[in-house]
Homo-oligomer: A and B are copies of this chain.
Amino acid sequence: MTDALPPGSVIGILGGGQLGRMLALAAARLGLRCHIYEPSETPPAAQVAERCTTAAWEDRAALEAFARGVDVVTYEFENVPTEALDVIEAIRPIRPGRRALAISQDRLTEKTFLQDLGLATAPFSEVGSADQLRTAAETLGLPGILKTRRFGYDGKGQVRLREGDDLAAAWAAMQGTPAILEGFVAFSAEVSVIGARGVDGAVACFDPGENVHEDGILRTTTVPARLAPSLAADAVLLTGRLLNALDYVGVIGVELFVCDGGLVVNEFAPRVHNSGHWTQTGCTICQFEQHVRAVAGWPLGDGTRHSDVVMENLIGNDMDRVPELAASGAALHLYGKAEARAGRKMGHVNRIVGHG
């Protein structure tokens, strides 16, 4: 731990949502303090962090003061504007590093990077015009998914295209936003691996979880995933390869499709990931603490699974079920959000279903 930040050091977190909140709670366990930077008022993470700066991503003075007041900077979402990161990076290290962030921010760059690394992805083609969309559809075939290159999450910025759809209209609806067309991948399940890499290069992965989505939003993660042992090993190995190739520091979430021919990488997120929330109940050290350990230069913790867990997201009106869930014996996690809007992640519940 020669380069480790000592207890009492301050972790700066860009973004004050539930991921920032749970990072702050994990940092507190290690005696580390947190300073949140978030443009919107009363973010969930501010309730549990020692300090919160409420300022815009364009506020250079606020960004500089924030960076000077912390020892290292991390982020809870990958769409922090590049200019804000430039200001911060001139003052303090940002972990995970800028390269992982830049690659993951752009679906075209991401898929190209993954393929160059020898990892399987869905077939894809760049789409910057109606003509390119037509050509891409002919090359890849339909059905497929037209996705914005940047700023997509929880199924936003995506449209499914089927044979016979009006491609010109589909492109027009994108309003000129650079996009890619992804070809169809026949998969039997989606799994994800939460991996971590320390400053010292040590790599540790949590057991793969099996994800179920509804309306483009993660609904449940079940661990262990129903996955042949060889594929589970593949999933962990390719995550390690990705972490090393990116010279990564922190936790990464890698989404994979389980196909007849093996695993296909859907995408990765350079941060703690919703599909890793089960680790709070299933492991001694959860993904949030693992991330804090990595960015603070500490050794990674023991992420061995001691229990099998089903994680269920609580979205919007699911908050009505809180009284019942509180009495159910499961571990409830609520994010401190005042208003339960449709599609908004309000909390999650981890249920132990067996011993690992």
Interface residues of A in 332-354 (CB under 8 A from B): 332-338, 347, 350, 352
Contact partner of A293 (CB less than 8 A), chosen from B24, B322, B326, B347, is B326
Taking a contact as CB atoms closer than 8 A, the residue among B4, B7, B336 that contacts A334 in the complex is: B7
Residues of B within 8 A of A307 (CB): 306
Contacts of A48 in B (CB 8 A): 24-25, 28, 48-50
- Residues facing B in A297-347 (CB within 8 A) are 298-299, 301-302, 306-307, 319, 322-323, 326-327, 329-338, 347
| Contact between chains at B284 and A299 (CB < 8 Å) | no
Report how many residues on chain A are interfacial, defined by Cβ distance under 8 Å: 46
> What's the number of copies of this chain in the assembled complex?
2
Is residue A285 within 8 Å, beta carbon to beta carbon, of the partner chain?
A: yes
In the complex, A327→B301 CA distance in Å?
Answer: 7
Chain B residues with Cβ under 8 A from A4's Cβ? Answer: 323, 326
With A25-B25, A47-B50, A355-B355 given, is the CB distance from A31 to B334 under 8 Å?
A: yes
- Asked if A148 lies at the interface with its beta carbon under 8 angstroms from chain B, I say no
Interface residue from B299, B301, B327, B347 paired with A299 (Cβ < 8 Å): B327
Contact indicator A355/B301 (Cβ below 8 Å): no
**Which residues of chain B are within 8 angstroms of A299 by Cβ–Cβ distance?**
326-327
- The answer on a CB contact under 8 Å between B25 and A21 is no
Q: How far is the CB of A90 from chain B (nearest CB, A)?
A: 28
- What CA separation (Å) do A24 and B49 show in the bound complex? 11
- A250 → chain B, closest Cβ, in Å? 16
**Contact call B284/A28, Cβ cutoff below 8 A:** no
CB-CB nearest in chain B for A327:
B299
A113 to B281, CA, bound (A): 39
Which residue of B has the minimal Cβ distance to A337? B31
Q: B30, A334: Cβ atoms under 8 Å? A: yes
CA A46 to CA B50, docked complex, whole Å: 7
Determine if A306 and B355 form an interchain contact, defined as CB atoms under 8 angstroms apart: yes
Known contacts A7-B336, A25-B29: A301-B284 contact under CB 8 Å: no
Q: B334 to A29, Cβ gap below 8 A?
A: yes
Q: Is A1 an interface residue (CB 8 A)?
A: yes
With A1-B323, A7-B334, A7-B336 as contacts: A329 and B355 at CB distance below 8 Å: no
* A interface, CB within 8 angstroms of B: 1, 4, 7-8, 21, 24-25, 28-31, 33, 46-50, 281, 284-285, 293, 298-299, 301-302, 306-307, 319, 322-323, 326-327, 329-338, 347, 350, 352, 355
5 closest Cβ pairs, A-B complex: A31-B334, A302-B329, A1-B323, A299-B327, A47-B50
A-B contact pairs, 28 of them (CB 8 A): A1-B327, A4-B323, A4-B326, A7-B319, A7-B322, A7-B334, A8-B336, A21-B28, A24-B48, A25-B29, A25-B48, A28-B48, A29-B331, A30-B333, A31-B334, A31-B336, A31-B347, A33-B47, A33-B336, A48-B48, A284-B330, A284-B350, A285-B331, A299-B326, A299-B327, A302-B330, A306-B307, A306-B352
Given contacts A8-B338, A28-B48, A301-B326, 14 further A-B contacts (CB under 8 A): A4-B326, A7-B319, A25-B29, A29-B331, A30-B332, A31-B335, A33-B336, A48-B49, A48-B50, A284-B352, A285-B331, A293-B326, A306-B306, A306-B352
